[in-house]
Amino acid sequence: MWILRLAFRNALRNVRRSLLTAATVIIGVALFVIFLTYLEGASKMMFEETTKYIGHAPIADTDFIERENLRPMYEYIPDAQAVVDAALAEEGVTDAFAVIESGVAISAGDELGDVFGMATGSQEGWYERIGLEDNLAEGVMPTGPGEWLMGSKLVEKAEASLGDEIILFGSTQDGSLSPLKGELVGVIHSGAALTDRSVYLSLEEMQFMVDIEGGAIQVLLYTDDTMNAHEPAAALQASPVMEGLTAQAWSSREPYNQIVPMMDVIQGILAGALVFLTALAIWNTMTMSVMERTAEIGVMRAMGLSRFGAVGMFVVEAGAIALLGGILGVLLGAGPAWYLETTGITFGEDIADQMGTDYAITSTMYGDFTAGIAVRGVILGIVMAVVGSFIPSLRAAAVQPVEAMRHGR
């Protein structure tokens, strides 16, 4: 306890230097809070948005997954309803829907065009789950087969209008040309390229197009824990209906199995860089402090202060400043973090469009400021101070009492 009292007293002896040290910590922690707020918020948004569309644990034919980039439509789930029923019976599974997605060429009106997009067919419950109606920019929701919704990007490219006859040229599971005709009744605009480049049909219509009666390309599982869908997926895998099929948590699938750990790495690099830069500044100020107090340290060492005690004195002093600096840094960073959480950063739809084919990226990404980020900010501030003060404090511990007292004269 006496070390703590000594540390606070020493911190107040040179207020200017202590404030400089604290300011370094404040800025470092504030920057950390701001960046982490945005990084975690944006990645959380991206994962939530993505898993909304791909499910927490998508189920597909094992051969389909192996060649997913080629989208081999003949590797489908023959009895989709049986898989849906088995999935819903598993603990932790809240929803399951059959989905078929296929590339199509789209024409509107009399002209046969060459606009390409994705046609998606699923059950009504899935469209409710992804909140399609919330993104209805124009028109109405379909009331039956032959009434379709189309993403705003496709509508623009195809030069389509509400009420237009839309022709989709897809292909069957054998690769044979397979057309469908419908009416455009609504336009979807979500800001996410994945959504805005799709045409939405009923599951039965897509089953007809691809010629897989009763089948689906995927069954999407939704669980009560997005980040821990492994357990229900593994439990379902043991079911007899899963023969030839694989249920895989989204975080285990490409490209997310690389993105999720990459976010941790980015966070680590960010923290490491801020600690390094801030610690350098603290090192500088603490070194000056040690040099100025050499005689004093000598006297204290002569009076029985151990080397450990000398190290502890300076580390605790830096830590005390950093604790205050960390709290103030969090408060300083909270302002911009709140702004990022409420207003976000808008990339512009062009950039989101270019990036959003694999990941559900919206044109505006928001931060997410949490108590966890605040706590990590304060801890990081203390870490910065400890790292920055350690070497100077070792130097203090190495001071010989006689030499130090002679130095002070």
Q: Does 202 bind other proteins (CB under 8 A)?
A: no
Which of 64, 148, 169, 200 binds other proteins (CB under 8 A)? It is 169
- Contact pattern for other proteins over residues 348 through 367, marking x by CB under 8 A: --------------------
Stretch that binds other proteins, among 94-102, 165-173, 235-243, 367-375 (CB under 8 A): 165-173
Q: Residues 24 to 83: which contact other proteins by CB under 8 A?
A: 74-75
Which of 33, 167, 199, 332 binds other proteins (CB under 8 A)? It is 167
Nearby residues of 102 by Cβ (< 8 Å), 6 or more positions away: 71, 73, 118, 119, 170, 171, 206, 209, 210, 217
Nearer to other proteins, 176 or 258 (CB): 176
Number of residues in contact with other proteins, rule: CB under 8 A? Answer: 16
- Contact pattern for other proteins over residues 204 through 223, marking x by CB under 8 A: -------x------------
Q: Does 177 bind other proteins (CB under 8 A)?
A: yes
Q: Does 155 bind other proteins (CB under 8 A)?
A: no
Instruction: Count CB atoms within 10 A of the CB of residue 213.
Output: 9
Are 323 and 8 in contact by the 8 Å Cβ rule? The answer is no
Give the span between the Cα atoms of 408 and 109, in whole angstroms: 93
Closest distance of CB 211 from other proteins, Å: 7
Which of 133, 174, 225, 264 binds other proteins (CB under 8 A)? It is 174
Nearer to other proteins, 144 or 304 (CB): 144
Are 135 and 195 in contact by the 8 Å Cβ rule? The answer is yes
DSSP string, 78-107: S-HHHHHHHHHTSTTEEEEEEEEEEEEEEE
Q: Does 267 bind other proteins (CB under 8 A)?
A: no
Task: Give residue 75's identity as a one-letter amino acid code.
Answer: E
Instruction: Count CB atoms within 10 A of the CB of residue 131.
Output: 12
Stretch that binds other proteins, among 140-148, 171-179, 261-269, 385-393 (CB under 8 A): 171-179
Sign of CA dihedral 221, 225, 228, 230: negative
Instruction: Count CB atoms within 10 A of the CB of residue 375.
Output: 12
Which DSSP letter does residue 120 get?
A: E
Give φ, ψ of 14 to 5 degrees: -125, 85
Instruction: Count CB atoms within 10 A of the CB of residue 282.
Output: 27
Which of 9, 67, 181, 406 binds other proteins (CB under 8 A)? It is 181
Closest distance of CB 63 from other proteins, Å: 10
Which of 145, 179, 372, 408 binds other proteins (CB under 8 A)? It is 179
Nearer to other proteins, 208 or 369 (CB): 208
Which DSSP letter does residue 363 get?
A: S
Q: Which residues bind other proteins (CB under 8 A)?
A: 74-75, 112, 167, 169, 171-177, 179-181, 211
